[in-house]
Chain A
């Protein structure tokens, strides 16, 4: 039986898993969860993810939440097919993949998701963005991207010469970020820009990006 992924294609965290599924050529069924109708807060969904967030995954008896735990599971279960996303065959290289995955989790994600939340999600809730939060997080993101610019001057991808989960995890929020008026943070850094353009050329990205349909109403 194919894996079931619960969520909506426009969710960045759902897209993170969709990218992984396509990179690994894994069959799956996307079970829609209506976020605007708050179906992710209903008991039926909370029984899969008590924190009430998409995505959730069901694979036979296993139910999982947290998009990056899900991508790690898919990448390991299907390690022998599709793109090698984890460099599992060498423990030191696998650790470098984990290192840059942690950098995404603890440095990149907090800054970029705060900007996306203010510029895309908050207007959808009928509120105005908090300019101070946007400004502070753009400044943080710039400093983080300076580190990335130096790193990507030495390696083609974050964890080395091949595309891994460390790169993949960045894609959905960066895609939304590039729709805002602050895309210069990426475009003004040549190595980061080249890396981003490479990520956007991948077949898995071309399948997933059409579903990332929300856009900033204000910048």
Chain B
């Protein structure tokens, strides 16, 4: 029996889990939850995810939500299969966790409202908060400078190998790179751009983009 992933394949958080599955060679089945019709807010899905978001997984009797917790569970369960996403020693795992947390507290807090305002709201016919977006872009520039500095002396965020710390950034990065002036902000930062070009060249990312219809 394969793991069932409830979500929409074009949405960032399900993509985080899918990238983990693809990196680890884990078979999966996607059960589409239609975000455009707010299926994630309906009672049936709220039983899987009480905050009304995607993804959620069912693996036999085992159920989980929160994409980063799901990715970590499968990276642990299949530690010896596919890419080692968690880190090799206690200390390396701590550095992976550190940069994965940076994604939550510094990167996603800016990237998510930018993507919501510039990509999601237009799709839903809602108005974008232009003032907010300009403020977020300035803050993003400051954060990307720190990443650029980190990646000037490290091939990947946690060191010389691709880990969960890099993977967790990829879905939002995919969206951000479709926004012209953010694309330029990335390209203006040599090491950060080098990192994005390398990780978006991975077979898992290319496969995900095909699955998502790009």
Q: Is the CB of A106 within 8 A of B106?
A: no
Interface of A is mostly: helix
Q: Give the distance in Å from the alpha carbon of A101 to the alpha carbon of B68 in the complex.
A: 10
* Contact (A66, B64) CB under 8 Å given A91-B77, A95-B72, A98-B69: no
Closest-by-CB residue of B relative to A88 is: B76
Q: Is the CB of B109 within 8 A of A110?
A: yes
B76 to chain A, nearest CB (A): 6
Q: Is the CB of A62 within 8 A of B94?
A: yes
A96's partner among B50, B64, B68 (CB-CB below 8 A) is B64
A110 to chain B, nearest CB (A): 7
Q: Is the CB of A91 within 8 A of B73?
A: yes
B165 to chain A, nearest CB (A): 10
* Contact (A103, B73) CB under 8 Å given A73-B94, A150-B50: no
Q: Give the distance in Å from the alpha carbon of A19 to the alpha carbon of B77 in the complex.
A: 29
B-chain residues with CB within 8 Å of residue A65 when the two chains form the complex: 98
* Contact (A76, B93) CB under 8 Å given A50-B150, A66-B105: yes
Q: Give the distance in Å from the alpha carbon of A164 to the alpha carbon of B73 in the complex.
A: 17
Mark interface residues in B181-214 (1 if CB within 8 Å of A CB, else 0).
0000000000000000000000000000000000
Does A10 belong to the interface (CB within 8 Å)?
A: no
* Contact (A64, B98) CB under 8 Å given A91-B76, A95-B72, A147-B50: yes
B76's partner among A50, A68, A94, A147 (CB-CB below 8 A) is A94
Q: Is the CB of B66 within 8 A of A66?
A: no
A106's partner among B70, B91, B104 (CB-CB below 8 A) is B104
Does B102 belong to the interface (CB within 8 Å)?
A: yes
Q: Which of A71-112 contact B (CB under 8 A)?
A: 72-73, 76-77, 91-92, 94-96, 98-99, 101-103, 105-107, 110
Closest-by-CB residue of B relative to A144 is: B51
Q: Give the distance in Å from the alpha carbon of A106 to the alpha carbon of B105 in the complex.
A: 9
* Contact (A99, B66) CB under 8 Å given A51-B106, A150-B50: yes
Closest-by-CB residue of A relative to B59 is: A92
* Contact (A64, B95) CB under 8 Å given A91-B76, A98-B66: yes
Q: Is the CB of A92 within 8 A of B102?
A: no
Closest-by-CB residue of B relative to A98 is: B69
Question: In the complex, which of the residues A50, A68, A77, A95 has the most CB atoms of chain B within 10 Å of its own CB atom?
Answer: A95
Does B90 belong to the interface (CB within 8 Å)?
A: yes
Does A35 belong to the interface (CB within 8 Å)?
A: no
Q: Is the CB of B90 within 8 A of A147?
A: no
Q: Is the CB of A69 within 8 A of B97?
A: yes
Identify 22 residue pairs between A and B in the complex whose beta-carbon atoms are under 8 Å apart, listed by A's number.
A50-B150, A51-B106, A61-B91, A62-B91, A64-B94, A64-B98, A66-B101, A66-B102, A76-B90, A91-B73, A92-B62, A94-B76, A95-B72, A98-B66, A98-B73, A99-B65, A99-B66, A101-B69, A102-B68, A106-B104, A144-B51, A150-B50
Sample of 4 further A-B pairs with CB below 8 A, known A51-B102, A105-B104? A64-B98, A73-B90, A95-B69, A105-B105
